[in-house]
Structure 1
Amino acid sequence: MIRRLARGAAAGALATLTMSAVMLAGQRAGLMPGQPPRHIVRAALPGHRHRPKRGERTLGALAHLGFGAATGAAFGVLTGNRRPTVRFGVGYALLVWLGAYQGWVPALNILPPASRDPARGRPAVMAAAHVVYGATLALAVGALRRAGGTPTKEDR
């Protein structure tokens, strides 16, 4: 169980980095104003929830990496000793996206729901970023299991 958590967390951190590249590209292309993790941290810090705050960029990046690692750890446990497929990883990541951007993020009044976001490009960029996260997560968990000598059900 501890190995599954650790491998999942490591894979989740790696997947968060690849996901972040998609998010940065989307922002630079003008498809979304700012990074959602920064908006989330901004709302959590003291002061006006929608005004920029000192340190939010660094804290946003750290929070995003931590959330990605935690979500990856859960994926590592969820997949057990099976080698996860990319399709399963992508589905998992899209469920995480829906839960966040249709669920708790708008419920906390941080960003509007993805279905009603006035920044029209943000939902598409974030969905694509989560697809990349899920694919990377599944591939990385599988690779870490093989590298660690953990046999999967498919190997037996």
Structure 2
Amino acid sequence: MQELDSINRRILAELVANARIPMTELARRVGLSKTPVAQRIRQMEEIGLIQGYRAILSPLSLGLTHVTYVEARLSDTRQKALEQFNDAVRTIHEVEECYMIAGGFDYLLKVRSRDMAHFRQIMADRISGLPHVHATTSFVAMEAVVEQSWTEI
């Protein structure tokens, strides 16, 4: 990807702060007219720099105050087994993030739940039954010290 110029960086910063900003206001803030701003946005969407627009919900306001990180070790790590695990874990909406890890275990999952009882239910009913899961280790987060979305370009 080519280097972002200062105008594209300002457009992105404004969109990250408020994706619903009217085009006329966005154009005013970056010092261009609407048409060039719209063209720049469309170009950044086409190359995949801007992947979409969405409402960001507050997990805390939804009662999902309990965060647990789960290390998952698989019994089979051949490509087919990894694909089966990946497809299945994507269906568990309480899994907020999932990463394949190079190290002493295979996957790291960030799980949001209402409380410990809810987490235990998710583990018993969903995560432990994922394809090829051999063992799990859980780590309960006590406090979020840094938790943020990308806001800097």
Q: How does the TM-score come out when normalised to structure 2?
A: 0.24
Normalized per residue, which structure has more strand?
Answer: 2
Structure with higher Rg: it is: 2
TM-score normalised to structure 1 length: 0.24
